[in-house]
Amino acid sequence: MIGAIIGDIIGSRFEFGATPEEGFELFTPDCSYTDDTICTIAIADAVMNHRNYQEALHDWCRRYPDPMGGYGSRFYEWIQADQPHPMNSYGNGSAMRVSPIGWLFDDWEQVIDEAKKSAEVSHNHPEGIKGAQCVAETICWLRLMRFSKTDVERKVHKFFGYEIPSMRDILKIGAEGHFDGTCQETVPMALRCFMDANDFEETIRLAVLCDGDTDTKACIAGAIAEAYYQVPETMIEKAISYLPDDMLGILSQFYETIQSGCRQKK
């Protein structure tokens, strides 16, 4: 979960800002958490504290109505509605927030089911659901089954039908100014950044250098990389310095739950 938050914060200043360059500084005063972190916290809260996914998302997004970069227009309407309905969306929002589910459930079928539930309250298009399921299941494969990267790529194609593009193709798309706002674009791109990296930090750097939706690509890539690599303590310390107390409370509860081995039943 901290991997997702780190990626979000580092990628935040490039989403609508300057084009990232090799060797960019990871954390600056221009960075912040965005809707990616808010929604990830909401999903963790829902699972651990037995809240409805819709209720938790509504609550957290209304607590933080104006994050850096804002919310997507349709999701903002969903937040504002007193009785929100699914939007038939396949935007990457369902995939960016799902990482806690990959950690808090140990049964792969339950991971798939809970990822679907977390997505469909707002992103009930099949591609929106699939994107969330793919990210959560990949985390589960890596942390429980210790799959190799080759295994992950093969399984992702077999079960989710994603063709993971080459880094060269992703960089070309980013250089052309394309903004990858859908699950079917962002999830395979984030997976490639993880596949081609040699450690956690490089995963985040690659995701940001791909440009486009930098915070969400780095959020998803970081979430996956956390299940495979050691996250540097310095990056953790920097990231948590950006978070308010109520988010830190959920984050602490999450890692206490993981460390205690008390997985969730829902």
264 pLDDT more than 60: no
Q: What integer pLDDT is reported at residue 32 of this predicted model?
A: 98
Token match 């992702």: residue? 156
> What backbone phi and psi angles, to 5 degrees, belong to 167?
-60, -35
137-190 pLDDT, tens digit each: 999 999 998 899 999 999 999 999 999 999 999 999 888 888 899 999 999 999
Q: Provide the 10 A C-beta neighbour count for residue 26.
A: 17
DSSP H helices, the chain, are 2-15, 35-48, 53-63, 73-80, 93-96, 99-104, 108-120, 126-140, 149-160, 167-175, 183-196, 200-209, 214-226, 233-240, 245-260
28-40 pLDDT, tens digit each: 999 999 999 999 9
Cite the annotated binding site for Mg(2+) by residue number: 34-36, 213, 215-216
Taking residues 219-230, what's their average pLDDT? Answer: 98
Please give the CATH architecture assigned to the domain spanning 2-16+33-260.
Answer: Orthogonal Bundle (1.10)
Confidence class for position 17, pLDDT limits 50, 70, 90: confident
- pTM greater than 0.75: yes
Token match 């360059």: residue? 21
**DSSP 8-state class, residue 242:** T
54-70 pLDDT, tens digit each: 999 999 999 999 999 99
> What backbone phi and psi angles, to 5 degrees, belong to 68?
-55, 130
Confidence class for position 88, pLDDT limits 50, 70, 90: very high
Cite the annotated binding site by residue number: 34-36, 213, 215-216
Q: What integer pLDDT is reported at residue 174 of this predicted model?
A: 87
Report CA Rg, the chain. 16
